[in-house]
Amino acid sequence: MKIAIVCYPTFGGSGVVATELGIALSKRGHEIHFVTYKQPVRLEYLTHNIHYHEVIVPEYPLFHYQPYELALSSKLVTVIKKHQIDMLHVHYAIPHAYAGYMAQQMLKEEGITIPMMTTLHGTDITLVGSHNFYKPAVNFSINKSDVVTSVSHSLKSDTLAIFSIDKEIEVVPNFIDFSNIKESFSDCKRYLMAAPDERILIHISNLRPVKRIQDVIKVFYGVQQKIKSKLIIIGDGPDREMASKIGHELGVRDKIIFLGKSNEIERILCFSDLFLLPSEKESFGLAALEAMAYKVPVISSNTGGLSEVNEDGVSGFLCNVGDTDNMTKRAIEVLENDNTLDQFKRQAKQTAMKFDITEVLPKYERLYQKMCCN
Ligand code: GMT
């Protein structure tokens, strides 16, 4: 099939999932066309089966806000016609489902029918989309999608609770392509980050308030009182300064390493011992799943879809949002002795393997088939 994929090209989970999905589909013989404003960060190569079309929004002084949706829907019309695309898969409802619907309508005028699947990822529903500024348009474009999927059962329930949806929502979880995950690393440079007798805790996110980075620092503070350790923080965002300040106040700033945005997550996960994800909201927690795939157990909150990914007592532990005392206790339980840590590491990987792409890809392909050929 010829599939146009619309996504955010940045480090966020929705863009990563869309990119990995496109790459996997291309390997199965589908022709994939990414349509977005920058080459997606995880899209390292373009082949005859993978194409990238840049949406350009020229600055025009009259516009206070540059009209990205307009440029995107126009680009979609052009790409769909030129490459005779069979279907459209948009990731993240805002504004992609809306722009996709507009493209569908323009093409209809020319006698071209193009079905659209919308995959809901989380903040497009729970944080941004639910706001009255956007809600009517998001509700409308979800209902106008031919197929709607969500990345967890929890996100499906949230969507049905927040919006008036008259479409069936199919749950298709996020995934890991285990064929890309190395069993062993020759260049895993743990010594660069910590002494041999230190444990390494890690947090990866866009450092937004929803991630509760203050809880990451508090938990680390508690852990390092009992166990010699370092904390690595990957990603960048508005709460980075605040995290650093709390680190100073608690006297642990010198044990926290901020690495910024990274495209080399695997080279850091390979030596990490524990992933912290205490989010306020989290529809799935792809970052946690990626950590588990590299044998890093997870202490997370039990919000949203996290309990569908992180198995309590198996791949790590789930705690109530904001309960940093319990998170600290659980973290120490996992890290305290080598045997327990090894067991959690093994179990983390086993749990992650349930989300291998070979389990998930056929679900998308079945839905594509149904949508295009019914
Ligand atoms: O977590 C973020 O703020 C980024 C956001 C995104 O849209 O990229 O992540 C959402 O989608 C990911 C991929 O499906 C999920 O793994 C994240 O849990 C979800 N984030 C939230 O729900 C806060």
Q: Are the C-beta atoms of residues 41 and 263 closer than 8 Å to each other? A: yes
Say yes or no to pLDDT of 46 above 80.
Answer: no
Task: Give residue 16 CA to ligand 1 midpoint distance, Å.
Answer: 10
Residue 131, domain CATH: 3.40.50.2000
Task: Give residue 200 CA to ligand 1 midpoint distance, Å.
Answer: 24
**109 and 209, same structural domain?**
no
**369 and 234, same structural domain?**
no
Say yes or no to pLDDT of 11 above 80.
Answer: no
> Six-digit token pair at 141?
């474009």
**9 and 152, same structural domain?**
yes
**Tens digits of residue pLDDT in 284-297:** 999 999 999 999 99
**217 and 167, same structural domain?**
no
Say yes or no to pLDDT of 37 above 90.
Answer: yes
Question: Residue by residue, what is the 3-state secondary structure of 275-311?
Answer: EEECCCCCCCCHHHHHHHHCCCCEEEECCCCHHHHCC
**120 and 229, same structural domain?**
no
Q: What is residue 264's predicted lDDT score, i.e. its pLDDT?
A: 83
**Tens digits of residue pLDDT in 97-113:** 999 999 999 999 999 99
Mean pLDDT calculated for residue range 41-67: 88
> Six-digit token pair at 93?
């409802």
**Residue, of 17 and 187, whose pLDDT is higher:** 17
**Tens digits of residue pLDDT in 198-248:** 999 999 999 999 999 999 999 999 999 999 999 999 999 999 999 999 999
Q: Are the C-beta atoms of residues 75 and 53 closer than 8 Å to each other? A: yes
Q: What is residue 254's predicted lDDT score, i.e. its pLDDT?
A: 98
The dihedral through the CA atoms of 260, 266, 267, 270 has a sign that is positive
Q: What is residue 125's predicted lDDT score, i.e. its pLDDT?
A: 86
Q: What is residue 128's predicted lDDT score, i.e. its pLDDT?
A: 83
- Residue 124 in 3-state DSSP? helix
**Average pLDDT value for the chain:** 95
**Tens digits of residue pLDDT in 358-372:** 999 999 999 999 998
Residue corresponding to tokens 């749950």: 171
Total domains present in the chain: 2
Q: What is residue 321's predicted lDDT score, i.e. its pLDDT?
A: 98
Task: Give residue 109 CA to ligand 1 midpoint distance, Å.
Answer: 35
**235 and 162, same structural domain?**
no
**289 and 217, same structural domain?**
yes
The dihedral through the CA atoms of 97, 150, 3, 115 has a sign that is negative
Among residues 205, 204, 202, which one has the least CA distance to residue 231? Answer: 202
Q: What is residue 374's predicted lDDT score, i.e. its pLDDT?
A: 64
* C-beta 285 within 6 A of ligand 1: yes
CA pair distance 38, 130, nearest whole angstrom: 27
How far out from the chain centre does Cα 238 lie? 18
Q: Are the C-beta atoms of residues 11 and 236 closer than 8 Å to each other? A: no
**226 and 115, same structural domain?**
no
**73 and 168, same structural domain?**
yes
* C-beta 148 within 6 A of ligand 1: no
Q: Are the C-beta atoms of residues 310 and 318 closer than 8 Å to each other? A: yes
* C-beta 123 within 6 A of ligand 1: yes
**229 and 124, same structural domain?**
no
Domain residues for the domain of 265 are 179-355
**CA R_g for the chain:** 21
- Residue 155 in 3-state DSSP? helix
Q: What is residue 129's predicted lDDT score, i.e. its pLDDT?
A: 77
**Tens digits of residue pLDDT in 109-161:** 999 999 999 999 998 888 887 888 999 999 999 999 999 999 999 999 999 99
CB proximity list for 173: less than 8 A, separation 6 or greater: 151, 152, 284, 308, 309, 355, 360
Q: What is residue 164's predicted lDDT score, i.e. its pLDDT?
A: 95
Mean pLDDT calculated for residue range 69-77: 97
Mean pLDDT calculated for residue range 308-319: 98
**192 and 100, same structural domain?**
no
Task: Give residue 242 CA to ligand 1 midpoint distance, Å.
Answer: 21
**136 and 58, same structural domain?**
yes
**Tens digits of residue pLDDT in 325-361:** 999 999 999 999 999 999 999 999 999 999 999 999 9
Percent above pLDDT 70 for the chain: 100
